[in-house]
Structure 1
Amino acid sequence: MPMTALRPAVLAGALALAGALGAPAADAHRFWLLPSMTVLSGEGGWITVDAARSNDMFHFNHNAMQLDGLQVTAPGGAAAEAVNRHTGELRSVFDVALEAQGTYRIAVVDDAVFARYEAGGRHHRWQGTAAEFADEVPGEAEDLRVSERINRAEIFVTAGAPTRDTLEPVGRGLELIPETHPNDLYAGETARFRMLVDGEPAAGIEIEVIPGGVRYRDTPETMTVTTGDDGAFEVTWPEPGMYYLETGLQDEKVSTEVAPSRRLTYVATLEVLPM
């Protein structure tokens, strides 16, 4: 649906979108996935993954992440199944059997469009996908305000020898493209990555890299890097452990045919191994 189809008379109202539409301003609670292991010696093993939102990195002290958008991609690109799903008060959990040798990409993706409008003398709120928008939001809607949110949280897990086919970009929202394999990270070494937005280089955006164990430190020891014109950035890992990587965008530069405003967030949990 082209942007012009949003009805010019109400497009200005859409640009003044408020956070109440379902894409609230960024809050202090970070969302993350935490695998039990990221590297296994061969095929046939299992991992357990925790999913939560919290104040302290990798500690369950706020609420559970919902698993509606859970995606498991096996080596070769086929979808794999996550089993034993459970969502409690403070965390969700699921298991994945690593039946094939290679690298798995495991993500929870929240991809939705939000709208508020008037029709038939009543106020309406709507949430759905971009594909559903044209059919489900009436053409005669007045005071139409639209926003889109794409949040991606992901991890990478390798059974046996690492592979790269699951690291190819999806082409939607913010994505991390590892030039250094994400299961081949070592303390004291420098890893190189690229950030893409809708498949194109995400230039000039800031990325925070936070080591785990924040709860037991006086300061979070956050590292901040900025992507180059090609979306590339580098991180030198100071010590082994789990690291949290986060970045985001929100402005009209990432608008689409459906929504003149989008909020994009990307987070990843990476394990850095000792030398």
Structure 2
Amino acid sequence: MKKLALPLLAFSLLFATTASAHDAWILPSATTLSGEKAWVTVDAAAGNDKFYFNHRPLNLNGLQITSPSGASLKAENAFSGELRSGFDLQLTEDGSYRIALVRNGLSAQWRQDGKPKRWFGSSSDFAKQVPQDASELKVQERSSRIETFVTKGKPSAIAEVKEGISLKPVTHPNDLFAGEAAQFIMTMDGQPAKQIKVHVVPEGSRYRDQLNAIELTADDAGKIEITWPRPGRYWLAAETSTPATSTAPAGTTKRLMSYSATLEVLPQ
């Protein structure tokens, strides 16, 4: 796999949120397939317009592909270009696959010799990379999940995620139809994400004057309901902040969590 020329930027793009200038997504060539030789190509990028490659590729470090049986799979033909990253995946089992880019780490800002410094990385590297006596040091935990779902044949159950923000299907994410209501439960560390704000944007914003975003608030059980206005692909995103966990380094101020999913809605 070709390494990105700007690893710091690529890492930070994995924490792109609904409030940022560039949103991040992974985009499968299809979400429902059949047949013996079923393949999908998945693109990973960040840009101003949903599913339009106009800014930067996403780093594929942290890619997690889970098969219907729960096995971890490896991407094939992975690459990173100037505007997008991508890979191929063969669906050898019937059922539903979860494809996600996951990052859990720390960010730090400080001043050194009068100049601002920044670092993003894993907690295990924090002490090696960040001076403990740094001036104006600010440390934050960060958790990001960018994902999509693909099914070969009949949809199957999707395992729950216990870390960060995630989506727990009530309606299967590969069984969505225009004009029908779908329900999901937003979770945070495996528990209902009460009252979290969810932002849903249909594809094609580059070609219209309005974003046409659907703004939702989860109830106390973390549940949201969406009636899809039309067929197409949708970008669903949520973000929140909480106090830092007890395992974070001393001086960590808060934990930032973001989530996004690419969903495909079919015509009835």
| CA RMSD in angstroms, aligned pairs only | 2.5
Match of 1:168 among 159, 178, 187: 159
Unmatched segments (≥5 aa) in structure 2:
1-11
Query: 1:83 Cα shift?
Result: 0.9
Q: What CA distance in whole angstroms lies between the structure 1 residues aligned with 2:45 and 2:213?
A: 20
Structure 1 residue 64 and structure 2 residue 57: aligned?
Answer: yes
Q: What CA distance in whole angstroms lies between the structure 2 residues aligned with 1:190 and 1:172?
A: 27
Q: What CA distance in whole angstroms lies between the structure 2 residues aligned with 1:96 and 1:48?
A: 6
CA contact (8 A) 2:109 2:139 kept: yes
**TM score, norm. by length of structure 2:** 0.84
Structure 1 residue 190 and structure 2 residue 181: aligned?
Answer: yes
Query: 1:142 Cα shift?
Result: 5.9
What is the 5 A alignment of 1:186-265? 186-252=177-243, 255-257=244-246, 258=248, 259-265=252-258
Change (3 A) 1:24 1:74: closer
Q: What CA distance in whole angstroms lies between the structure 2 residues aligned with 1:274 and 1:102?
A: 21
Stretches (4+) displaced over 6 A: 22-25, 137-140
1:46 aligned residue = 39
**Once the two structures are aligned, what percentage of the paired residues are identical?**
46
Query: 1:170 Cα shift?
Result: 2.1
What is the 5 A alignment of 1:73-92? 73-92=66-85
**TM score, norm. by length of structure 1:** 0.82
Unmatched segments (≥5 aa) in structure 1:
1-21
Q: What CA distance in whole angstroms lies between the structure 1 residues aligned with 2:209 and 2:132?
A: 56
Q: How many residues align structurally?
A: 247
Change (3 A) 1:102 1:136: same
Q: What CA distance in whole angstroms lies between the structure 1 residues aligned with 2:209 and 2:221?
A: 35
Q: What CA distance in whole angstroms lies between the structure 2 residues aligned with 1:55 and 1:97?
A: 30
Q: What CA distance in whole angstroms lies between the structure 2 residues aligned with 1:116 and 1:236?
A: 42
SS state at 2:176 partner: coil
More helix per residue: 1
